[in-house]
Copies of this chain bind each other. A is one copy, B any other.
């Protein structure tokens, strides 16, 4: 039997939206990787379930190379070394681009939804008809 929990139809496909999530977090305050992981976990799309830490650290480094954020080691702190990330002007610009893109995504998903609804309703009707005939 098909396990729909392991099917993309049950979600867990919004991974690529981690980047705007990080930018949104950093637009509000400078933070280090570990805390960013926790904040991402709190975001609506992760619902408390932490994303892979390694992935986030690597994403942050990639984002720094692309000039969206800059990092600095914390000097004041005792405890394990933290690497704080600060959003750049380009990062802010990138985030404002995301508004258009997210709006487009929402529209596209809305259109898909309308179509899927439509198609599923048709399927249901024809299934019901079969059942009626059989009864």
A interface residues (Cβ-Cβ under 8 A, vs B): 2, 4, 7-11, 13-14, 16-17, 19-21, 24, 27-28, 43-45, 66-68, 90, 92-99, 101-113, 115-117, 119-120, 122-123
Contacts and interface: CB of A to CB of B under 8 A. Distances in A.
A interface: dominant SS: helix
A106 B110 contact: yes
- What is the copy number of this chain in the assembly? 2
A85 B5 CA distance: 24
B66 A97 contact: no
Most buried by B among A10, A21, A111: A10
A94 B28 contact: no
Leading 7 A-B pairs by shortest Cβ distance: A9-B97, A13-B16, A27-B119, A9-B98, A45-B108, A44-B111, A44-B108
Contact of A90 (B2, B17, B97): B2
Contact of A94 (B2, B96, B98): B2
Nearest to A16: B13
Contacts of A105: 11, 13-14, 109
A14 to B, nearest CB: 6
Nearest to A111: B44
16 contacts: A2-B68, A4-B97, A8-B16, A9-B94, A11-B101, A13-B101, A14-B105, A24-B119, A27-B119, A27-B120, A27-B122, A27-B123, A45-B112, A95-B123, A99-B116, A99-B117
